[in-house]
Structure formats: structure tokens, C-alpha cells
Amino acid sequence: MFNTQEFLQSEIARNLLVGLDAPDDAAIYRVSPDRAIIQTVDLFPPVVDDAYSFGAIAAANAMSDVYAMGGDVLFGLNLVAWREDLPLELLSEILRGGAEKMREGGGVIAGGHTITDQEPKYGIAVTGMVNPQHTLTKGGAQVGDVLFLTKPLGTGILTTAGKQEIAAEQDLQDAIAWMMRLNRDAALAARAVGLQAATDITGFSLLGHSHEMASAAGAQFQFELNALPILDGAFELAKQGSIPGGTARNRDYLHDKVLLPENLSDEWDALLFDPQTSGGLLLAAPRTKRDALIREFTARDVAYWEIGNVVQGAGVRVT
Ligand code: CO
Ligand code: CO
């Protein structure tokens, strides 16, 4: 007898192109030969004081996983945890920041859900669309590829220093502007030249997310320390001890999977393992596409740094 339930399950398995089998930035589900849905969700407690900026950063961060898969954002559902004694005007500002960032990305907020919680949190469950033949995955890098990063490192250090009230105002505002910046144009540039490999740098740090890409590709990612972009103030603030809690967790997990230069300073170590909020895209480009990619970045006003290469081997090496 025909089993409807079994048929549906096998249909879902067949069309779920990216799921838990090969974890990536977002799940991808094919609905037709040239169309697939992208689904991702992210939320976290406030990283900055200003409510509007926090909303916009949380939205840019949530949308980033759609861009890291090479897709377009369609719509999102707000996820809110709110403490009852906090002014509702603050929540309105957070939601306004999120909604305006969503609109900037070409999408809309279509609903949401709120719960009561001691610690406020905000994020978005984002739905996007991509042609399944043109996805950017963590596993697409090849030996010989050039590695590009599209935002500077150090947002964990800067936001921690912001909470300690020791960051220079201009440095903090710069960090906020970077975190609010969408990865959309970087993804469009990647799509324009037909790249296959990307991820976005978030809480797992540059080393953690590169390690995921290197493992998925069966290759080694090599970075040149001096080529890595760093936010203004991050080095000094790391020296003063503005290190987020996630840094040690990242280091514990990764220390035997990465090769770092001997005598690496504590500040550089803190930056390499620094959990990023709404960080840039890490893109692997075949050498033959390098110049075309740079032209696309320039035409779209995307910041970029060429930070290393994909070589034979395993793990991540910083020289
Ligand atoms: Co991601
Ligand atoms: Co995510």
C-alpha cells in the first residue's frame, strides 16, 4: 500500500539540499529546479546601548546567513524576549531598527513572537530565496583559491569595551557602523563572478569559521597575520583586557586545530579568537576570478581584504 507519510519524508529529504548532514549558515530547501528557500534564525542580548542600533545590528546579523548562502532576503519574523518593567519605547526602537534594516535588504518583517524574559533579546527568523545551482556553501573552496574578508575583526572586543565604558566614542561608533552594514553587496559581488564558497564570520571567530570551511573543503586555509583587517582601538582594548567570554571557549575548542605563529602576542590571539557580531563574509575565489571579484567589490563599494590562500593540508594556519 502507498504510504503518504513515507513518501513525504523522502520528498523532504530529497529537496532539503542543506540541512544537519552538512551544517551550513542556513538550511536550503528546493521548491523547483531553479528555486530554493533559505531559512535561518538568530537572536541575542543587546550588544550596544542604543536600542535602534541594536535592532539594526541583530537584523543585519540574522540576514547575513542568507547572504552567506548567496541568496536574497524575502521576509522575516521577529523574535523578542522582553522584561516587563522595561519601557516599551525601547522595544519599539529595537523593532524599528530591525524593520528598517530588513527593508534596506529588500525584505519585509511579516510577523513575530514575544516572550517574557529577564534578559532582553532580539533576532529574526529570516526566509530567503536562491537558485540552488548558485549557492555559496562552506565546502566549496579549492586548493589554489584566494581568501577575501569583507569586514574588519574585533567587534567582540569593541562591544565588550563599550559595556565597560572604556572604548573611545569614535571607535565604538565605527564598530557599530560595520556591524550594521549588510553583507548583501558582498554576496551580490560573489554571485556576479560565480563563486561557490563562503561563510559569514560570527560568534565562532575568524579561526572557527575558517576551520569549518577548511574541513568542509578538505584543505588548509592559510592567513597572513599582517593582511588581517582590525577595527580601530581593538588592539589597545584587547591589551586592556576587554575580552568577551566567548574568546576562551573558541580557543579551547580550536587550539589543537589551528597553527599560529610562535610568540603570537596576547592581543593578536584575542583578535583571532574574537567572537564577531554581524561580521563580514569570508569568500574563497579561484585565482582566475580574483580580478573580476575585485572589480565587482569596487563597483558595489564593498570593503575587502585579501587575507590568504587555500592550500593542501588541513585546518587553519596563520603565518
Ligand atoms: Co553564518
Ligand atoms: Co547564524
> For residue 205, how far is its CA from the centre of ligand 2 (angstroms)?
13
Q: From ligand 2's centre to the CA of 6, what distance in Å?
A: 30
How far, in Å, CA of 55 to CA of 65, rounded? Answer: 17
Instruction: Quickly tell me which residue has 542543506 as its cell.
Output: 18
Residue-wise pLDDT tens digits, 114-162: 999 999 999 999 999 999 999 999 999 999 999 999 999 999 999 999 9
- Measure 4 CA to ligand 2 centroid, in angstroms: 33
| Helix locations, the chain, DSSP H | 4-15, 51-67, 88-104, 155-163, 169-180, 184-192, 205-217, 234-239, 245-254, 266-272, 290-299
| pLDDT above 80 (res 2) | no
Taking only the tens place, the pLDDT of each residue in 69-118 is 999 999 999 999 999 999 999 999 999 999 999 999 999 999 999 999 99
Q: In whole angstroms, how far apart are CA 267 and each of 229, 235, 245, 295?
A: 14, 6, 15, 33
Cα atoms in the 13 Å half-sphere on the side-chain side of 275? 18
Collapsing DSSP to helix, strand or coil, 158 comes out as: helix
Q: Where are the domains of the chain?
A: 4-133, 136-318
Residue 2 CA to ligand 2 centre (angstroms): 38
Q: How far is the CA of 312 from the centre of ligand 2 (A)?
A: 28
Query: How much distance in Å is there from the Cα of 68 to the middle of ligand 1?
Result: 7
Cα distance from N-terminal residue to C-terminal residue, the chain: 62
Cα torsion 160, 308, 147, 104 to 10°: value is 30
Tell me the pLDDT of the chain averaged across its residues: 96
Q: Please write the tens of the pLDDT for every residue from 164-194.
A: 999 999 999 999 999 999 999 999 999 999 9
Pick the CATH number of 4-133 from 3.30.1330.10, 2.40.30.10, 3.10.20.340, 1.25.40.80: 3.30.1330.10
Q: Which-ligand-closest: CA of 200?
A: 1
How many angstroms separate the CA atoms of 46 and 81, rounded? 11
Q: CA nearest 63: which of 300, 212, 281, 214?
A: 281
SS3 for 284?
strand
From CA 281, how far away is CA 271, in angstroms rounded?
A: 17
Ligand 1 ion: nearby residues, β-carbon < 5 Å: 25, 65, 200
Ligand closest to the CA atom of residue 126: 2
User: What are the C-alpha distances in Å from 147 to residues 76, 144, 180, 244, 310?
Assistant: 30, 10, 23, 26, 7
How many angstroms separate the alpha carbon of residue 303 from the centre of ligand 2? Answer: 22
Distance, CA of 306 to CA of 267 (rounded, Å)? 21
Gap from CA of 50 to ligand 1 centroid (Å): 24
* 25 CA from centroid of ligand 2 (Å): 6
CA of 137 to the centre of ligand 1 (A): 10
Quick check: do 4-133 and 136-318 share a fold?
no
Q: Which CATH class is domain 136-318?
A: alpha beta
Q: Which ligand is nearest to the CA of 69?
A: 1
